[in-house]
């Protein structure tokens, strides 16, 4: 299946399967860090304050653009675990329509066990990242009407 044609549910199931391959959380963290390293980087000139996600302890820049009716996200962070978390979210939400992002369920995060293994500040940051991605989707949705 073409990665660009996968539904949010398909991608979430793929991630759940991927993380279930690791028995212990150190291995899952390693995988998270690897996913972060694979993130396409944001141009330095786009790392502006208006792209920073509020509510994250570390700096996370999130950029979005609408491309053929689908939102493409890029992001970067100054912390490796946080970068991995945002990489997971980008894999789920990027190349999806604004409507599917707005309506997406994020239960896969609990299935992976991510939230329970993050510090409270990182868990809050995760929620802030999802909120920001959905806000971008709402804005694109409104602009399309």
Q: How many CA atoms lie within 13 A of 145 on its CB side?
A: 7
> Which structural domain range is residue 79 located in?
3-42+51-144
Cα separation, 60 vs 49, whole angstroms: 10
* CATH number, position 21: 3.90.1010.10
Interior angle at CA 24, CA 131 and CA 22, nearest 5: 80
List the chain residues with pLDDT less than 70: 1-4
Q: What are the helix (H) ranges across the chain?
A: 8-20, 25-37, 80-93, 98-102, 108-112, 120-144
> The pTM is what?
0.92
Q: From the candidates 11, 56, 89, 104, give the one annotated as an active-site residue.
A: 56
Q: Which residues contact 10 (CB under 8 A, 6 or more apart)?
A: 1
Residue 56 annotated as catalytic: yes
Number of domains in the chain: 1
91, 104 Cβ separation under 8 angstroms = no
């Amino acid at each position: 299946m073409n990665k660009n044609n996968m539904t949010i549910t398909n991608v979430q199931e793929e991630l759940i399967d991927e993380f279930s391959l690791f028995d212990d959380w150190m291995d899952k963290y390693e995988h998270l860090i690897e996913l972060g390293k694979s993130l396409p980087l944001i141009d330095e000139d786009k790392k502006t304050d208006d792209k920073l996600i509020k509510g994250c302890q570390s700096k996370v820049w999130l950029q979005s653009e609408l491309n053929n009716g689908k939102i493409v996200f890029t992001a970067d962070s100054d912390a490796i675990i946080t970068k991995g978390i945002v990489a997971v979210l980008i894999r789920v939400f990027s190349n999806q329509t604004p409507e599917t992002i707005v309506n997406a369920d994020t239960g896969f995060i609990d299935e992976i066990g991510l939230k329970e293994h993050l510090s409270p500040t990182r868990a809050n940051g995760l929620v802030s990242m999802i909120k920001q991605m959905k806000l971008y989707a709402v804005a694109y949705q409104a602009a399309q009407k």
